């Protein structure tokens, strides 16, 4: 039973105003600006003969291409956090001993700012005074000088993000594993199925929702990745660790090119929607399934 | 297969599924080789997770002379608080060298107004959407769901213009208000999902009693919100404290939170970098959320999973 009055509608006005102005209106504003020739200051005239000029330029920009490539590299690399998180969760769940201790340790990186994470890893990866020189002094010829070279700097960012987020995926996986009926284990044991096959053929398929959720959350996180790039490399060396989020803010603040930054932001929104639509479909599907089970 | 669906149904109904049927209780036996292997592997992983924290802590207590020796993993020869003192009182951010204490107090003054604003707004909105008959509630909820995912960059410039025209750009208020605005969709959804499970009997009784929106809110809903409030508080404290992007965009030169000071310190260093100072600064920034984390433990997971969709 629900009640209708004026008060609830009034109470909703601030939230409605924020949604209309700060979200819907602002998105429309940025999309509009992306069709204009605005540079430092906004210009509201659109030259219809070449309304897509910012996008044309964007797709021909080597920096944007690097950003997109890095986005995919970062996405694939960060996916290790899901794999790693699942392995940790499976082990913790099967072993039970020390569960709360291990969980506390694996999750603490999530509590700290990515700027702090970046500062720490930047120091560890320092070529002259960091882990590399220490391991070399022990006689191990390792090469950890990732941050200084363009083709390896992304690995350093991936390392820091995996370290930061693996615990989060572990927590999600652990919740998923707890929901699995324990009789499966004993049934598998009776049948003499080896443990790794139980995981591969029964547990992982049963946890597909958890995996899809993790994958979507990961993609959304990767699209928004900005802090970790600033703290680790600040986009460098050169443009080698640019990502779309970095590219967009750089175009707005360093290059003062409003129209161009808007076009890049719109492309970020498009990428987000590509990830977002399957999520909506998934939620609807899950809800239907739950209702059907009732 | 029928058992599986039974347990799923139980889980869906919110009941705690039976975790171990009695006849499956593991036999009390000594630790198996497999257990040992698993524990060893987990311990190695745990050590890997602790390496950065360890390195940061020991570096922050070292002298620069010892750091130059290049042995990053050794304990300090002489434990010194010089780096902590320097980071707190004298570290440079941009042209000013007043230390991280400026940023710390900025972060504190951003945190509290922002917490109050974002949580009270989301509570009222969530309550109205969950329990009152608002015709367009469904559409509005879907819109909020979309807004929760929007990348910040697409609304960045309009928000800068709005804060500039209202003359709050570059102040702590701008950062606090923008935090509240950006958190509104997610927090509203969290509160709405919590309130919609309130039994209708309670609402009916409340309607008979007073029927006033605000009285029901303050006398019934707020006292019932304890659990969800803690989860949301954890989520908001960590995300506001750890934020960099909003702080650097809206803080200008005077309203910068601690993370911005830290980023300035570690990325733009003129002359020789003093790593002890940097690491002490990083630790100072990390301590408040870490304290929250170790105090609340398990609730932290709920907090971050609830807000996972937020960037």
- Domain harbouring A175, CATH code: 1.10.3720.10
Task: Determine whether A62 is exposed, middle or buried from the number of CB atoms within 10 Å of its CB (0-12, 13-18, 19+).
Answer: exposed
Check pLDDT > 90 for residue B4.
no
Residues 6+ apart with CB under 8 A from B9: A293, A294
Do the domain assignments include residue B88?
no
pLDDT of amino acid A1: 42
Phi, psi of B132 (to 5 degrees): -115, 155
Q: pLDDT per residue over B219-253, tens digit each?
A: 888 888 888 898 899 889 989 999 999 999 998 88
Residues B105 and B47 in one domain: no
Mean pLDDT of A138-165: 85
Interface test with B, best of A115, A167, A232, A254 (most B CBs within 10 A): A115
Q: pLDDT per residue over B134-186, tens digit each?
A: 788 888 988 998 888 889 999 999 999 999 999 888 889 999 999 999 999 99
Report the candidate in A120, A224, A127, A112 with the shortest Cα–Cα distance to residue A168. A112
Cα B112 from Cα B291, distance rounded (Å): 17
Check pLDDT > 90 for residue A36.
no
A284 CB neighbour count, 10 Å cutoff? 10
Check pLDDT > 80 for residue A174.
yes
Cα A68 from Cα A267, distance rounded (Å): 10
Residues B141 and B281 in one domain: yes
The residue range of the domain holding A246 is 62-293
| Contact list, B276 vs chain A (CB under 8 Å) | none
Tell the residue number behind the tokens 């209702």, with chain if given. Answer: A291
Residues B106 and B46 in one domain: no
Question: By the 8 A CB rule, do A118 and A232 touch?
Answer: yes
Residues B179 and B125 in one domain: yes
pLDDT of amino acid B271: 62
How is residue B42 written in tokens?
Answer: 């987990």
Residues B106 and B76 in one domain: no
Cα-to-chain-centroid distance, residue A67: 15
Task: Determine whether A234 is exposed, middle or buried from the number of CB atoms within 10 Å of its CB (0-12, 13-18, 19+).
Answer: middle
How many structural domains compose chain B?
2
Do the domain assignments include residue A234?
yes
Would the CB atoms of B159 and A112 count as touching at under 8 Å?
no
In which band, very low, low, confident or very high, does the pLDDT at B124 lie, cut at 50, 70 and 90? Answer: very high
A176-185, A244-253, A275-284: least confidently modelled range: A275-284
Question: By the 8 A CB rule, do B234 and B292 touch?
Answer: yes
Do the domain assignments include residue B142?
yes
| Distance to chain A for B273, nearest Cα, Å | 11
Q: Is A49 on the interface with B (CB under 8 A)?
A: no
Do the domain assignments include residue B28?
yes
pLDDT of amino acid B310: 47
Do the domain assignments include residue B85?
no
Residue with the larger pLDDT of the pair B137 and B310: B137
Residues B178 and B262 in one domain: yes
Do the domain assignments include residue A121?
yes
Do the domain assignments include residue A277?
yes
In which band, very low, low, confident or very high, does the pLDDT at A67 lie, cut at 50, 70 and 90? Answer: very high
In which band, very low, low, confident or very high, does the pLDDT at A294 lie, cut at 50, 70 and 90? Answer: low
Q: Is B110 on the interface with A (CB under 8 A)?
A: no
Do the domain assignments include residue A128?
yes
Residue A3's SS3 state is strand
Residue B132's SS3 state is strand
Residues 6+ apart with CB under 8 A from B55: A120, A123, A124, B72, B73, B279
Do the domain assignments include residue B131?
yes
Do the domain assignments include residue B87?
no
Residues B53 and B110 in one domain: no
Q: Nearest CB to B286: which of A113, A121, A265?
A: A113
Do the domain assignments include residue A31?
no
Residues B16 and B150 in one domain: no
Do the domain assignments include residue A270?
yes
How many structural domains compose chain A?
1
Residue with the larger pLDDT of the pair B27 and A113: A113
| pTM of the full structure | 0.86
Task: Determine whether A107 is exposed, middle or buried from the number of CB atoms within 10 Å of its CB (0-12, 13-18, 19+).
Answer: buried
The residue range of the domain holding B31 is 2-80
Do the domain assignments include residue B89?
no
Residues B71 and B181 in one domain: no
In which band, very low, low, confident or very high, does the pLDDT at B299 lie, cut at 50, 70 and 90? Answer: confident
């Amino acid at each position: 039973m629900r009640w209708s009055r004026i008060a609830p509608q009034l109470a909703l006005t601030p939230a409605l105003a924020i949604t209309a102005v700060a979200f819907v209106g602002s998105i429309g504003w940025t999309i509009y600006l992306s069709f204009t020739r605005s540079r430092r200051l906004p210009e509201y005239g659109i030259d219809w003969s070449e309304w897509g000029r910012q996008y044309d330029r964007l797709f021909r920009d080597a920096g944007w291409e690097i950003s997109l490539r890095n986005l995919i590299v970062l996405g694939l690399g960060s996916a290790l956090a899901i794999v790693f998180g699942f392995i940790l969760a499976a082990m913790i769940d099967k072993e039970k001993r020390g569960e709360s201790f291990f969980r506390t340790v694996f999750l603490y990186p999530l509590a700290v700012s990515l700027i702090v994470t970046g500062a720490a890893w930047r120091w560890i990866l320092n070529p002259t005074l960091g882990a590399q020189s220490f391991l070399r002094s022990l006689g191990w010829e390792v090469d950890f000088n990732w941050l200084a070279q363009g083709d390896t700097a992304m690995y350093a960012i991936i390392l820091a993000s995996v370290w930061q987020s693996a615990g989060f995926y572990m927590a999600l996986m652990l919740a998923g594993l707890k929901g699995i009926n324990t009789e499966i284990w004993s049934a598998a044991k009776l049948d003499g199925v080896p443990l790794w096959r139980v995981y591969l053929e029964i547990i992982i398929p049963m946890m597909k929702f958890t995996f899809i959720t993790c994958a979507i959350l990961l993609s959304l996180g990767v699209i928004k990745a900005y802090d970790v790039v600033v703290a680790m490399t600040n986009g460098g060396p050169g443009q080698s660790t640019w990502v779309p989020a970095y590219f967009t803010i750089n175009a707005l603040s360093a290059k003062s090119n409003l129209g161009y930054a808007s076009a890049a932001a719109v492309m970020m929104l498009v990428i987000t929607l590509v990830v977002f639509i399957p999520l909506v479909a998934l939620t609807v599907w899950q809800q239907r399934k739950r209702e059907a089970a009732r | 297969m029928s058992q599986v669906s039974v347990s799923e149904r139980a889980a869906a109904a919110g009941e705690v599924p039976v975790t171990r049927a009695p006849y499956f209780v593991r036999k009390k036996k000594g630790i198996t080789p497999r257990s040992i292997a698993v524990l060893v592997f987990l311990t190695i992983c745990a050590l890997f997770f602790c390496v950065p924290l360890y390195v940061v802590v020991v570096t922050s207590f070292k002298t620069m002379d010892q750091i130059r020796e290049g042995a990053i993993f050794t304990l300090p020869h002489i434990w010194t608080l010089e780096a902590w003192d320097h980071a707190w009182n004298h570290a440079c951010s941009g042209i000013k060298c007043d230390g991280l204490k400026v940023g710390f107090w900025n972060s504190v003054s951003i945190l509290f107004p922002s917490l109050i604003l974002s949580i009270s707004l989301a509570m009222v909105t969530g309550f109205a959407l969950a329990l009152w008959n608002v015709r367009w509630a469904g559409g509005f909820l879907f819109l909020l769901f979309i807004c929760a995912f929007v990348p910040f960059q697409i609304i960045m410039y309009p928000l800068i213009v709005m804060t500039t025209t209202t003359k709050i750009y570059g102040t702590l208020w701008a950062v606090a208000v923008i935090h509240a605005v950006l958190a509104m969709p997610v927090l509203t959804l969290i509160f709405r999902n919590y309130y919609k499970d309130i039994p209708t009997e309670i609402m009916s009784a409340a309607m008979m009693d007073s029927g006033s929106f605000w009285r029901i809110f303050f006398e019934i809903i707020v006292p019932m919100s304890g659990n969800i409030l803690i989860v949301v508080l954890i989520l908001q404290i960590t995300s506001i404290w750890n934020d960099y992007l909003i702080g650097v965009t809206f803080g200008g030169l005077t309203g910068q939170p601690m993370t911005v000071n830290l980023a300035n310190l570690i990325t733009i260093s003129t002359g020789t970098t003093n790593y002890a100072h940097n690491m002490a600064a990083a630790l100072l920034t990390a301590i408040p959320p870490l304290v929250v984390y170790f105090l609340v433990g398990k609730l932290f997971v709920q907090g971050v999973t609830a807000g996972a969709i937020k960037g």
